[in-house]
Structure 1
């Protein structure tokens, strides 16, 4: 059957889906309902209908889940960044363990029914955990405003007091919008204006040092803005400008210029410190990164005879955790600034600019054979060529760190042909969202 737009239906919610929406079934049709929780009974209105599924909104909650809570954020629904803030935190952790099982059920890697999916490791205080923000800027109502785009739109939702964002970075971005307004800095408009389009602010958890990147579609004069900012916030160490003139969803352009301050800030995880340049990738939740890296080291179980490849190395932060534990460390990343950081952070390692799928075969051809491999890819998962390389070279030990349960399960289809999946450990890096991080221990068959 096909459900009609504006059709009203009763619905029992069977589970929470991978995007945090409630999932029910009406006369054989799967229906997704934002904001509904497992076990609830709702009266809903169809807002989108496709041949195989429909999307609905809640009109009335007839039976409420005992795990439903009132979201603490005033703009929770408009922003859409925290999809499950209405679910009590202990139950969020249960849901994120189930997320992994849903993904495995969908892609069905060999033997997935027997995989050990461990309970999600959560936070004691799941608030103000994001140490980095990338807020869009727009000129609205006679002033510059910063925030996120509402779901499936370019309509800016101003954010001035985010429950999950580090409070210092939020204070800085609020000041930046005031300064951009006061100094009349050009602000980007998709239809006709060049100027500042995005601002990135990151704060190091260990040192409190802050770096800022202004991303603009054209050069802008920021001297007075920088002076005012650095006087008010002495923890700022770096201010940079990145030019991205393309009409694209990508945030950054190709080159980043340091306008003021130092090349990098100092951050730390586990028992070591490292440098972060403005464009370098690092996890958004520094507190849980300690948990994640500890679990990765434990899963690898590396020894002094191991030669380790740290694929998607970024600044070498994961590779650094193995320094002194293995015989050698090598890594690669496509961002040159990250590799510059990695060579500083892991002084005994060998790091190259390039993709894993091109660099690793080159090393293999030169006679290097890794016994251990750790991968921490972006949300798109592993490149097909890299998967083929891994299957062909078969390092004895492998750890897969993933931020996307779907691409992880997809990649395990190929990896399970040559590796035993010993366990999957879920780590809650993103409380109140429908995302989880996972550490997978793989051992060659």
Structure 2
């Protein structure tokens, strides 16, 4: 095969990124936008020793599950990957990608794992409670949106079908005001101005906070005044300084320049506070489902001691705080740990302890100091569990654990290690990100 070659292709299955996969003369070909069972005509865009990538040119025979994406910028934005697939089939696909990941890494006994049907949404639109849009000048005007895939070309996003409508309205107005007030906008050549706007809205209270990521100090007083006058739901506005030319969105320093330190949110039967930089799930409605599944998977006793690794503001652990003897948690974001401590005090829990730092460094120290956990919850980032933490778990082996994953590949990789000491009871996938190729999963593990 060669680049620009055009070939017909029968799509045999879908890959973990939502692309169609076929075979041409024994070589795997990945075709974004193609669906299982389709006959397509495509053009090779990249050739590697073991596979090729291709651009979809025409669907000659369409899948009966293909639908017209409702989003007008679906193909240019790249934020969603499978909006052209009927939603019911999206849920089946997400269970299948979990199966594919397990087959690739082959943790012990994976063929017998119980993979439960994916739990979806009744209305899989406007679900994202948080956005992080880049700001640039497009055709002379300030625009906010996402970079097209594998590029630094901004695609303005004015009406995202998966984004909360209030946060979308706020970021749209913010772009207009940045223009009207002539506030400098970041340019990768000049490297000066507003780089990114973050807007998050609490589902329970409707309260909003914002972060402006700047390449250097700017005066935002008039912008803050206009925004807070027009949107009374805004409770907090902060700035973060990111002077480096990097793909990392945030710098080290975050400062609140207007309003309160927190917004109020709630999940299950408790409320908590969120500071601007603290992690919380992007889909508040499905977070309720996800946490319910975590609670069901962990059968604790009043005498148990629980570790909530990657605890964020403490949200999952709080579901168990009145059921166990103690809850301990850690997170690498100091603001999140302060929120966790504050939330625990406000809810009257005196059996909780939180510390800033990495799980792989803190847990061994706790064990060295004599603490023993009967149960463990891990909810790591997409990179999965650190090798040192995996070895720590295998060394001390709490009786049971729940692994909440947002990346099926790193989950399957980690289960290969954990299966040395733990039996996987079941895996329950939860659709936190409809129309994307991503899924969350809750894994129940018991010590062998």
- Match in the other structure for 2:176: 178
In structure 1, what is the Cα distance between the partners aligned to 2:341 and 2:31?
Answer: 48
Give 1:60 shift.
Answer: 2.1
On the 8 A contact 1:317/1:345 being kept in 2, the answer is: no
**Structure 2 residue matching 1:386: 3-state secondary structure:** helix
**Structure 2 residue matching 1:241: 3-state secondary structure:** strand
Deviates more, 1:49-58 or 1:81-90: 49-58
Deviates more, 1:399-408 or 1:320-329: 320-329
- Match in the other structure for 2:27: 29
In structure 1, runs of 5+ residues without a counterpart are none
On the 8 A contact 1:264/1:275 being kept in 2, the answer is: yes
Which of 219, 229, 232 is 2:230 aligned to?
232
- Match in the other structure for 2:381: 378
In structure 2, what is the Cα distance between the partners aligned to 1:105 and 1:10?
Answer: 28
Deviates more, 1:258-267 or 1:190-199: 190-199
**Structure 2 residue matching 1:201: 3-state secondary structure:** strand
In structure 2, what is the Cα distance between the partners aligned to 1:336 and 1:439?
Answer: 26
- Match in the other structure for 2:323: 325
Deviates more, 1:343-352 or 1:226-235: 343-352
In structure 2, what is the Cα distance between the partners aligned to 1:155 and 1:404?
Answer: 26
Give 1:61 shift.
Answer: 1.3
In structure 2, what is the Cα distance between the partners aligned to 1:442 and 1:345?
Answer: 28
The 5 A counterparts of 1:248-263 are 248-263=246-261
- Match in the other structure for 2:338: 340
In structure 2, what is the Cα distance between the partners aligned to 1:277 and 1:43?
Answer: 49
TM-score by length of 2: 0.98
The 5 A counterparts of 1:27-426 are 27-347=25-345, 348=350, 349-426=352-429
Give 1:346 shift.
Answer: 2.3
In structure 1, what is the Cα distance between the partners aligned to 2:172 and 2:378?
Answer: 36
Deviations 1:194-215 (A, max 9, x none): 1110000000000000000000
In structure 1, what is the Cα distance between the partners aligned to 2:220 and 2:137?
Answer: 17
In structure 2, what is the Cα distance between the partners aligned to 1:359 and 1:148?
Answer: 36
Q: Cα RMSD over matched residues?
A: 0.7
Deviates more, 1:418-427 or 1:296-305: 296-305
**Structure 2 residue matching 1:109: 3-state secondary structure:** coil
TM-score by length of 1: 0.99
Q: 4+ residue runs of structure 1 moved beyond 3 angstroms?
A: none
In structure 2, what is the Cα distance between the partners aligned to 1:40 and 1:213?
Answer: 44
Q: Does 1:434 find its partner at 2:432? A: no
On the 8 A contact 1:323/1:346 being kept in 2, the answer is: no
**Structure 1 residue matching 2:124: 3-state secondary structure:** coil
In structure 2, what is the Cα distance between the partners aligned to 1:285 and 1:258?
Answer: 25
On the 8 A contact 1:279/1:338 being kept in 2, the answer is: yes
On the 8 A contact 1:136/1:197 being kept in 2, the answer is: yes
